[in-house]
Structure formats: structure tokens, C-alpha cells
Homo-oligomer: A and B are copies of this chain.
Amino acid sequence: MIKRIDHIAIAVQGLEATVGFFADKLGLPFSHISDEPEQHAQVAFFPVGGSEVELVAPTDTTSGLAKWLEKRGEGLHHLCLEVDDLDAVLARLAAQGVQLINPTPVTNSAGRRLAFVHPKATHGVLIELYEEQKP
């Protein structure tokens, strides 16, 4: 049911200096920057080998991401796994008592369905489940 690592997200304070580091110094292929107003964030995308590395920077000081950065500093933020049937995966997790941040899927700015599993249930890893794009 889990198909691949869709992306790994890195929380950063801002995109200007960090995009330069990951693209020019490290050598990851930079694609584009997207505004994600519903997440109060800007995201920079680096597609690599069928997955993506994403830099996520908060656009305010009160969002969950901004508070996470204040507490923990910049670093690995969440792991996103692509699934073929998000409703089925969420139902299976809920039936096993796994704590979900989104018991029902939410839809992002690109129209894709996703849900987060609570890190308390996953040995500290914030996991995003992302539904495969249907043809």
C-alpha cells in the first residue's frame, strides 16, 4: 500500500540562504518555490530520483511550523510516503489505535489528498501520507 518516499521536508527559517546552499553548494537540482498559504509556509522543491527534498519556511511566527522551528531549530521535519488508497490506510491505522493528526484527508493547494500521522504514534517521526495521483 505504501509506494515510495514522496518527499523529505526540511524546516528552515527562510528560503534565500538555504536554497543557495542546497542547490549551489550541495548540488541538489532546484525546481521552484511555491507559496502554501494554508500551511503559512513557502516551499522550495528539489526533485531527485523520483522523490523530492523540500525546504519549508514559515511565513508567520504563530503557525505550528514556526513554533517547531523556535523549539527545535532547523533540520529534518517530516517524511512523506505515497500511498495508493489514503482512506484505506487511515482506516487501518485508526482501527489499530494509531493517533492521527488528520483522521480524514485534507486537500493541499495542488488538489492532492494527504493526512499526517501524529509523531507520538510513530516513534517521534512526523509522517505525511500522500495519495497517489490518479490517472
By DSSP majority rule, is chain A's interface helix, strand, loop, or mixed? Answer: mixed
Q: Are A5 and B49 in contact (CB under 8 A)?
A: yes
Residue among B4, B49, B81, B93 making CB contact with A3, cutoff 8 Å: B49
Shortest CB distance A88–B (Å): 10
- A7-29 CB contact bits vs B (8 Å, 1 = yes)? 01010100000100100011111
Can you offer 11 A-B residue contacts whose CB atoms are under 8 A?
A2-B26, A2-B27, A3-B49, A4-B48, A5-B5, A10-B124, A26-B117, A28-B81, A50-B50, A73-B124, A76-B124
> Which residues does A use to contact B, with CB under 8 Å?
1-5, 8, 10, 12, 18, 21, 25-29, 48-51, 53, 73-79, 81-82, 89, 92-93, 96, 98, 117, 119, 122-125, 127
